[in-house]
């Protein structure tokens, strides 16, 4: 089992077989409910990975 330590790219995590906890339902809710979000989280809490996940979601990369 490979852990994605220091990797902040969603597509790289999926394509290279790293452990990933699927949060697809949360991403769907984030994009279809509400209008503006302020992502305030401490360092090392996955903000860059979330943005990378949203990027691939909006690009329609269903294979990931």
> What distances in angstroms separate CA 16 from CA 12, 31, 36, 46, 59, one per listed residue?
6, 26, 32, 18, 19
pLDDT for 5-36, tens place per residue?
A: 989 899 999 999 999 988 878 888 888 987 88
Tell whether the model's pLDDT for residue 59 goes beyond 90: yes
pTM above 0.75, yes or no: no
Residue 4 lies in a domain: no
Domain of residue 33, residue span:
10-59
Is residue 5 a part of any domain in this protein?
no
Number of domains observed in the structure of the chain = 1
Residue 33's φ and ψ, nearest 5 degrees, are -125, 145
């Amino acid at each position: 089992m490979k852990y994605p330590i220091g990797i902040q790219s969603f597509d790289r995590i999926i394509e290279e077989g790293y452990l990933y906890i699927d949060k697809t339902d949360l991403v769907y809710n984030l994009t279809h409910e509400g209008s503006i979000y302020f992502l305030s989280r401490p360092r090392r809490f996955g903000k860059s990975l979330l943005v990378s996940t949203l990027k691939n979601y909006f690009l329609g990369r269903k294979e990931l």
